[in-house]
């Protein structure tokens, strides 16, 4: 990858942005990171985990898809949002030789808990009974069905208890109603490689993007 004179060595790595649940590579945060990192000549890849179709998406499929891309990318940094943050932690452990650092935005660290944060117990029972459940998908702008296999598969993966050693920066909103900031604080407290910054924002963190970049830039040595 050609780099401009003066671009730091950190630009030699590839940055993977891992989008969240019912999101896509077209999200606001993805476009923001592509813009600010692109100015430094840094390649940003954003795998579309909705492919080949949203209905059959599972954490296992997402991990396999990301693992295939990491194998061809060389040293990489993972930026994971919400469910993408969960995926980043799991990938850092499984593909440790390919991942150098993590940046996690409102990471769903409790995602593997049986009391799934996506739905209530009653809704999960409906999901199980019908075999699929309709979620509003922001990437498509409409409801899309997701197989119950997604829920069953997700319980195999405990991001909170996963061991990984890469330096990690977490940006978490204090007013997040989807990912409990207290859970993220406990996660950071039990992982000495993690630095946590709490922001006066909600789950989307859109208002905090300039502040986030001010934290991320020195963390990546840019």
Instruction: Count the domains in the chain.
Output: 1
pTM of the model: 0.92
Asked whether residue 98 carries a pLDDT value surpassing 50, the answer given is yes
Average pLDDT over residues 185-201: 97
The position carrying tokens 């997040």 is 176
Q: How much is the pLDDT for 12? A: 73
In a domain, 139, yes or no: no
In a domain, 85, yes or no: yes
In a domain, 16, yes or no: yes
**Structural domain harbouring 44:** 11-111+158-219
How far, CA to CA in Å, does 54 sit from each of 93, 137, 172? Answer: 25, 9, 27
Q: Which two tokens stand for residue 105?
A: 């935005």
Instruction: Read off the pLDDT of residues 170-191 as tens digits, 9 standing for 90 and up.
Output: 999 999 999 999 999 999 999 9
Q: How much is the pLDDT for 11? A: 56
Q: How much is the pLDDT for 6? A: 40
The mean pLDDT value of the chain amounts to 92
């Amino acid at each position: 990858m050609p780099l401009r004179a003066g671009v730091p060595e950190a630009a030699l790595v590839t940055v993977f942005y891992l989008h969240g649940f019912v999101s896509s590579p077209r999200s606001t945060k993805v476009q923001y990171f592509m813009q600010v990192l692109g100015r430094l000549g840094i390649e940003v890849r954003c795998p579309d985990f909705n492919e080949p179709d949203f209905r059959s998406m599972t954490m296992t499929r997402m991990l396999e898809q990301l693992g295939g891309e990491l194998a061809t990318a060389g040293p990489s940094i993972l930026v994971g949002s919400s469910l993408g943050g969960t995926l980043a932690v799991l990938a850092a452990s499984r593909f440790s030789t390919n991942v150098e650092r993590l940046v996690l935005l409102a990471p769903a660290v409790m995602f593997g808990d049986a009391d799934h944060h996506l739905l209530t117990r009653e809704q999960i029972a409906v999901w199980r009974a019908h075999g699929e459940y309709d979620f509003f998908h922001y990437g498509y702008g409409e409801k899309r069905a997701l197989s119950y296999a997604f829920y069953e598969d997700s319980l195999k993966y405990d991001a909170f208890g996963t061991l990984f050693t890469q330096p990690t920066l977490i940006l978490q909103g204090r007013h997040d109603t989807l990912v409990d900031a207290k859970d993220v604080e406990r996660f950071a407290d039990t992982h000495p490689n993690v630095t946590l910054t709490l922001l006066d924002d909600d789950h989307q963190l859109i208002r905090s993007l300039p502040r986030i970049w001010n934290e991320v830039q020195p963390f990546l040595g840019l």
